[in-house]
Amino acid sequence: MIVAGCDIGASTCKSVILQDSAIIGYEIARSRAATVQAGIAVMDTLLQRLGLSYIDLDCCVSTGYGRRILPFAHDDVSEISCHGRGAWFLVPSIRTVLDGGGQDCKALRVGENGTLVDFRMNSKCAAGTGRSLEVMAKSLGVDVSELGPLSQKSTTRIALQKPCCVLTEIEIRHLVLQGKNTADIAAAINDLMARQILHLARDLDEIEERVGLTGGIAKNAGVVHCLERLLGTTLVRFPEDPQIVGALGAALFAADMVRQGTNQLRPG
């Protein structure tokens, strides 16, 4: 059985292919203005690299921001369910999943088999998202990928206080003009991001042990370190790229459809 999951996010597109419940490949690419083309491109690239074609796929499930418009998907599932399922598949002991997506931030609790127990999602503000992290990095004059390594050189603590990323952007520019150390500002940005994610997570009925961070933000060692300090625990380390967890969950749902015999291409 060969199945696929495709996560069409606001910032990146991810595709994962499973063969008999084992990951045989994945692909991550920046999203484009043309969402459908971005999703097709990321799957085309992965299939070509694995020497496969669309007819080799028994089923494909899409998720994410553009999940409903992917033409080759048999069905779509919410990114909340997919992140929970994918995280549990990689680390069965996980119970709390935090996801910093490109345009939203999610906190969820999962039970046995990765089933969703509870979740919270920001709806009115970009705080805690990948986009807000990119905006703050730009204000500092560095690429977002530099924030983690740069923050590890910090020697003096700076606390960012503004409630939203637009006001924080102005605050960062003021700190730069004041001549504050770039590494210290980077550390402050990562600390703010961790506090914003944790603020959402604390709205859950309970933050259970075995907490994992998914999405591109999970690749920022500075944010991971700050979350661990604030939670007082070590975050789960996934054996695969944390950015593919949603697409992996979608592929697992695709495998369910094949086993249930419901893998018919959706209408339209």
Residue limits of CATH 3.30.420.40 in the chain: 1-91+243-268, 93-237
Q: What would the pLDDT profile of 101-131 be if each residue is shown by its tens digit?
A: 777 788 899 998 888 988 888 765 666 677 7
233 has pLDDT over 80 = yes
- Percent of the chain, pLDDT > 90? 55
- Which of 3-7, 170-174, 243-247 shows the lowest mean pLDDT across its residues? 170-174
pTM for the structure as a whole:
0.90
Residue 230 · residue 197 · CB < 8 Å: no
161 has pLDDT over 90 = no
Which pLDDT belongs to residue 128?
66
Radius of gyration of the chain (CA): 19
240 has pLDDT over 70 = yes
* Distance of alpha carbon 20 from alpha carbon 204, whole angstroms: 34
Which pLDDT belongs to residue 131?
79
What number does CATH give the domain 93-237? 3.30.420.40
55 has pLDDT over 70 = yes
As assigned by CATH, the class of the 1-91+243-268 domain is alpha beta
Report, as an integer, the average pLDDT of 198-217: 81
Block residue for tokens 């740069």: 150
Report, as an integer, the average pLDDT of 154-183: 87
